[in-house]
Amino acid sequence: MNLVLFDTSQRKLLYPFTLTRPVADIRVGIFTIREFWERYFQLTSFTITEQYLQEKFPNTTTNTVILVNSSLLPNEEFFSLLIELKDDEAIVDGENVLAAKTSSYNNWQVDDIQLEKFSTHKRVGSADYLLYPWQIFQLNDAAIKYDYDVITMGRTSASVSSTNQLINPDKIFAEEGAKLQHAILNAEKGPIYIGKNCEIMEGSIIRGPFAMLDGSVVKMGTKIYGATVLGPKCVAGGEIKNSIMVGYSNKAHDGYLGDSVIGEWCNIGAGTSNSNLKNTADTVKVWSHEEGKFVPAGNKCGLMMGDYSRCAINTSFNTGTVTGVSCNMFGAGLSPKYIPDFSWGFTNDNKYDFSKACDAINNWKKLKNQFLTEAEKNILKHIFEQL
């Protein structure tokens, strides 16, 4: 039995994060969607996504498979149907396939998974989906709480130094190798999870729900409000609230990051802040790249930053700003609300030279003992050629 997580054409609404990854590799809470389902099924997964991503995220299995729609936000009704799923059956919501089991799978593509492929349909009363990027931080509070219970079930936290002040310590869990001294951790509003080999430096103040994953660092005097997640090997400093850094990204210095999602391999310059609330306290409208228009995102929305993007010191990001992939951002005053892929500065007039952009990405990756793979470079080349 194999697990296949599949995208649909709606994946494009999650720009900029689905330019460089399948929906399954978006992090909501402690786990990515892929990590959640692999843990649930105890199976390694394969992926149905856009062709230009398949080199990095393979779709190679042809055995009997369980298929799951990556954008689905599962509920109890769905789980009860999933447990009883038989061969050639699908769980559906209207015309949408949510999950299925089949022995006739043969490397299907995006939007190949239609009702007519399955003889039996089990319908759910309701289903919710991850459609827009700002939902990632909006869902983060509940996701951290759920994931914390899953990842700590039946386990005991590693001991932490008595120099720390722990509030509601039963909801604070540290993995082996975690280091923290003279910090204040408050888990009254939600749990706090500290991954392997993480470090929280002295003077930091953290309120849950909060999670930091393997090798991440919180620098001295940092203030973090829930619900916030630092993916693997991130660096956090300054003031952060209700935000996700997917992985390998840095906000190492003073400045404010709120109600935001930061992709992988990003760097936020010292003193940079984003606005997450309009002066009128009115609804924030965010640019939807796929729809070509501004879409309401609620009354709070900060910065959506695509992978491999960086900004200069003291950058001021407008409320609800979307930046594309591999941008080098600098300029006076508030940023534009939308900064396209491979932008050089804040204007649309200048584009990042592709080879120089790849060199810069490789330099950043070397700082964390990694390198730009050929598959990643091919993904970036595809994106660049669409400009």
* Residues 140-161 pLDDT 10s: 999 999 999 999 999 999 999 9
Contact 79, 68 (CB under 8 A): no
**Residue 350: per-residue pLDDT:** 85
Q: What is the mean pLDDT of residues 228-252?
A: 98
End-to-end CA distance of the chain: 40
Residue 258's φ and ψ, nearest 5 degrees, are -140, 140
Contact 323, 261 (CB under 8 A): no
For residue 314, is pLDDT > 90? Answer: yes
Beta pairing class for 2-6 and 72-73: unpaired
The residue among 237 and 105 whose pLDDT is bigger is 237
For residue 106, is pLDDT > 90? Answer: no
Q: Angle at CA 38, nearest 5°, toward 32 and 42?
A: 155
Contact 133, 14 (CB under 8 A): yes
The residue among 1 and 7 whose pLDDT is bigger is 7
368-381 per-position pLDDT tens digit: 999 999 999 999 99
SS3 content of the chain, % helix, strand, coil (to 5): 20, 30, 50
**Residue 174: per-residue pLDDT:** 98
DSSP tag of 256:
E
For residue 348, is pLDDT > 80? Answer: no
Dihedral-angle region of residue 142 (phi above 0 means left; psi in -120 to 50 means alpha; beta otherwise): alpha
Rounded to whole angstroms, the Cα distance separating 21 from 56 reads 9
Q: What is the mean pLDDT of residues 240-259?
A: 98
For residue 62, is pLDDT > 80? Answer: no
H helix or E strand, kind and range, residue 305: strand 303-305
**Residue 111: per-residue pLDDT:** 85
**Residue 1: per-residue pLDDT:** 84
Q: What is the mean pLDDT of residues 260-288?
A: 98
Six-digit token string for 207: 């309120």
**Residue 347: per-residue pLDDT:** 77
For residue 42, is pLDDT > 90? Answer: yes
Dihedral-angle region of residue 233 (phi above 0 means left; psi in -120 to 50 means alpha; beta otherwise): left
Peptide linkage before 209 cis (omega within 30 of 0): yes
Contacts of 153 (CB under 8 A, 6+ apart): none
For residue 301, is pLDDT > 90? Answer: yes
For residue 268, is pLDDT > 80? Answer: yes
CB count within 10 Å of CB 246 equals 25
Q: What is the mean pLDDT of residues 105-110?
A: 86
Q: Residue 68: which of 20, 107, 101 has the closest Cα?
A: 101
| Residue bearing tokens 């990515």 | 32
227: exposed, middle or buried (Cβ count in 10 Å: 0-12, 13-18, 19+): buried
For residue 127, is pLDDT > 90? Answer: yes
Residue 55's φ and ψ, nearest 5 degrees, are -60, -40
Rounded to whole angstroms, the Cα distance separating 129 from 117 reads 22
* SS3 category, 318: coil
For residue 50, is pLDDT > 80? Answer: yes
In a 13 Å sphere around the CA of 375, the CA atoms on its Cβ side amount to 9
Rounded to whole angstroms, the Cα distance separating 268 from 311 reads 5
Contact 22, 49 (CB under 8 A): yes
**Residue 161: per-residue pLDDT:** 96
pLDDT band at 124 (very low <50, low <70, confident <90, very high): very high
Rounded to whole angstroms, the Cα distance separating 190 from 226 reads 8
Q: What is the mean pLDDT of residues 52-67?
A: 90
Q: Across all residues in the chain, what is the average pLDDT?
A: 96
For residue 236, is pLDDT > 90? Answer: yes
**Residue 123: per-residue pLDDT:** 95
